[in-house]
Amino acid sequence: MLGVTIWVGSFFRDPVRVTPTASDIVVAPADGLVTQIAEVAPPPEIAGPDGLNDPLMLRVSIFMSVFDVHINRTPVAGTLRKLVYIPGKFVNADLDKASEENERQHFVVERADGVRIGFTQIAGLVARRILPFVSMGTELSTGQRVGLIRFGSRVDVYLPAGTTPQILLGQRALAGETVIARLGKSEILDGVGQ
């Protein structure tokens, strides 16, 4: 029982993070492993003129194991324009179909310059509860805590056209600290596993 108590306490930890403040950056909303960087259509729940208006966006997926911090943070500063909860299944969050089938919660944050960034909390195989900390219309600062997913899950970030990822597949990210993209940049980032 002592081991379980220590593990649960560790799971709900909420460390202080140092968030970069440059105006063109997007920070990781979750701790975990970058498992996908792909061009996809945004989810229908947050697509369209009142959400993410781009037909195709760059999706960065971060998988959180049961050992990662599960407090999620906003990747950019701005106004929370959309918050949509979708009940669903609990298949492995590392699978691509989890984006469409699992319990999830979508956020759309509009920056002061009108650029909108979307991100989605996705419950996983073990996760059974998504808890929001914010409501629509909330003014958010970069790296601010926005919610929690209990016990293993994934967060997808939807980036607008003209955004270049600053992370690589297989890289580990820290919520509120790791810069995952720069808006308006077009350079390509390469890396070497060592």
pLDDT interval class at 14 (50, 70, 90)? confident
What is the residue-averaged pLDDT of the chain? Answer: 84
Known catalytic residues? 153
Domain coordinates in residue numbering, the chain:
22-183
Per-residue pLDDT averaged across 153-173, rounded? 91
Query: For the segment 84-143, what is each residue's pLDDT rounded down to a tens digit?
Result: 998 876 665 556 656 667 788 999 999 999 999 999 998 876 656 788 899 999 999 999
Question: Helices marked H in the chain — which ranges?
Answer: 2-11, 98-101
Sign of CA dihedral 167, 169, 170, 175: positive
Considering the entire predicted model, what is its pTM? 0.85
What pLDDT score was predicted for residue 153? 84
- Residue range 22-183, CATH number: 2.70.70
